[in-house]
């Protein structure tokens, strides 16, 4: 296989065939198979048997091509692939190594071969038709690389703000300077700080992150926090992610913006005092476990890198600001109630240890 990376090889490739050869040398087996098979016509065009044969032969040839390019001293290309379509080459390959499922699948399609194990005239005629059909498709794939100046759709630039992709609760849109951004379509999201004041514990979830394939420690999050569905969204998310029933929560801050350069959306921060029950389990399958962490434990976990969620870290800072303001308000109200020379009730702050209690 060529030691050149795909980008360098494509830059050095000037002709259409050379570009196609570069793609053939760096696409995975699955991608190269899908590329060729996607050009094969429907049953109404070539018939059921011939279509099955074309699909099977394409997969078999790609299987052999990928094996060969791994040990080749030079860059393989279209001609090498076409050689692998020859019947004698396929027969030699299946006799040399029986562990080639795609190759076996093709020979099973050949007329009468499965019963007799012999390639007769009918099988040869069938193979010749399928081979010529695939050769034609390969030429079409090369022509697909041609820059068609007559097709204005190829050169059409997306307008600013045009949606180019969608997902659950968000859209990917274009912006100035050929860059894209993500926009939340259902309003701000919500992140929930669940605090057991009695034990001074905060409840976090260990939730699966499909992008990185790992579990991340974070505060529970909900969908849209705006409009008439906000309360129900919070209730559903809290029930699914923690097993707790909804209770009054106070919006203490926001909007938090994860990355305002690429995300047009924000997250509101909600806080609630809870007496955490002993037995409550999440129903969402993405949650592996629940973690009860003290306030000092939150800081330690953030410092140790166990909390990497930017929204959770921002929410911790938001809570710290909220808690500081709340304490000042409590102290001021106590001074007002105490009057001149009076003594209000002293507020006692209990230092919490940094232990982590797992649900």
Q: What total number of domains does the chain contain?
A: 2
27 and 77 share one domain: yes
The CATH number covering residue 246 comes to 3.90.79.10
Full domain range(s) for residue 189: 183-323
Q: Tell whether 341 is covered by a domain.
A: no
User: In terms of DSSP bridges, do strands 189-196 and 267-273 run parallel, antiparallel, or are they unpaired?
Assistant: parallel
Instruction: Tokens for 66, please give them.
Output: 């990928």
Distance CA 52, CA 349 (A): 75
In order along its 359 residues, the chain shows pLDDT tens digits of 444 454 445 545 556 777 777 778 778 888 888 889 988 988 888 888 889 989 999 999 999 998 888 877 677 788 888 998 998 888 888 888 767 788 888 888 887 666 556 778 888 888 999 999 999 988 888 887 764 434 444 445 557 778 878 777 778 888 776 578 888 877 788 899 999 888 889 999 999 988 788 898 999 988 766 655 567 788 888 889 988 887 788 888 878 887 878 888 888 999 988 877 666 788 888 899 999 999 899 989 989 988 988 889 999 999 888 888 888 888 887 777 766 554 444 443 333 344 444 55
8 A C-beta contact, residue 169 and residue 120: no
Distance CA 117, CA 202 (A): 70
Q: Tell whether 161 is covered by a domain.
A: no
* pLDDT given at position 261: 80
206 and 315 share one domain: yes
Q: Tell whether 178 is covered by a domain.
A: no
* pLDDT given at position 345: 46
Distance CA 236, CA 222 (A): 8
Terminal CA-CA length for the chain: 52
122 and 253 share one domain: no
Q: Tell whether 330 is covered by a domain.
A: no
CA distances from 177 to 136, 159, 213, 262 (A): 40, 11, 32, 13
* pLDDT given at position 57: 92
214 and 315 share one domain: yes
* pLDDT given at position 219: 94
pTM beyond 0.95: no
312 and 227 share one domain: yes
Q: Tell whether 17 is covered by a domain.
A: yes
Q: Tell whether 66 is covered by a domain.
A: yes
299 closest CA partner among 250, 251, 347, 356 = 356
Strands laid side by side in the 163-167 sheet: 163-167, 170-174, 180-184, 263-264
Instruction: Tokens for 359, please give them.
Output: 């649900």
- Residue 117 backbone phi and psi in degrees, to 5: 70, 15
Instruction: Tokens for 219, please give them.
Output: 């505060």
* Residue 306 DSSP symbol: S
Sign of the alpha-carbon dihedral angle for 266, 181, 28, 106: positive
277 and 192 share one domain: yes
């Amino acid at each position: 296989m060529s030691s050149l990376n795909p980008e360098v090889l494509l830059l050095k490739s000037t002709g259409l065939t050379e570009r196609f050869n570069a793609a053939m040398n760096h696409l995975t087996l699955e991608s190269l198979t899908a590329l060729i098979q996607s050009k094969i016509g429907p049953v109404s065009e070539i018939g059921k048997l011939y279509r099955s044969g074309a699909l099977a032969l394409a997969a078999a040839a790609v299987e052999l091509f990928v094996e060969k390019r791994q040990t080749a001293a030079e860059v393989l290309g279209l001609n090498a692939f076409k050689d692998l379509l020859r019947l004698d080459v396929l027969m030699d390959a299946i006799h040399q190594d029986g562990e080639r499922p795609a190759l076996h699948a093709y020979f099973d399609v050949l007329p009468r071969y499965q019963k007799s194990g012999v390639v007769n005239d009918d099988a040869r005629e069938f193979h010749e038709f399928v081979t010529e059909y695939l050769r034609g498709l390969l030429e079409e794939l090369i022509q697909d690389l041609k820059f068609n100046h007559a097709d204005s759709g190829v050169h059409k630039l997306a307008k600013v703000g045009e949606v180019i992709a969608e997902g659950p609760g968000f859209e990917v849109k274009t912006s100035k300077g050929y860059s894209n951004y993500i926009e939340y379509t259902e309003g701000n999201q919500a992140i929930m700080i669940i605090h057991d004041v009695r034990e001074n514990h905060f409840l976090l979830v260990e939730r699966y992150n499909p992008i990185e394939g790992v579990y991340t420690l974070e505060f529970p999050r909900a969908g849209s926090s705006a409009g008439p569905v906000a309360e129900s969204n919070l209730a559903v998310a809290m029930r699914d992610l923690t097993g707790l029933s909804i209770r009054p929560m106070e919006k203490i801050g926001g909007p938090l913006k994860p990355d305002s350069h690429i995300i047009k959306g924000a997250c509101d921060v909600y806080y609630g005092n809870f007496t955490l029950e002993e037995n409550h389990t999440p129903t969402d399958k993405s949650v592996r476990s629940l973690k009860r962490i003290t306030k000092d434990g939150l800081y330690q976990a953030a410092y140790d890198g166990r909390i990497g969620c930017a929204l959770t870290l921002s929410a911790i800072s938001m809570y710290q600001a909220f808690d500081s303001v709340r304490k000042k308000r409590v102290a001021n109200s106590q001074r007002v109630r105490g009057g001149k020379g009076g003594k209000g009730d002293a507020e006692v702050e209990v230092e919490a240890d940094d232990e982590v209690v797992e649900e």
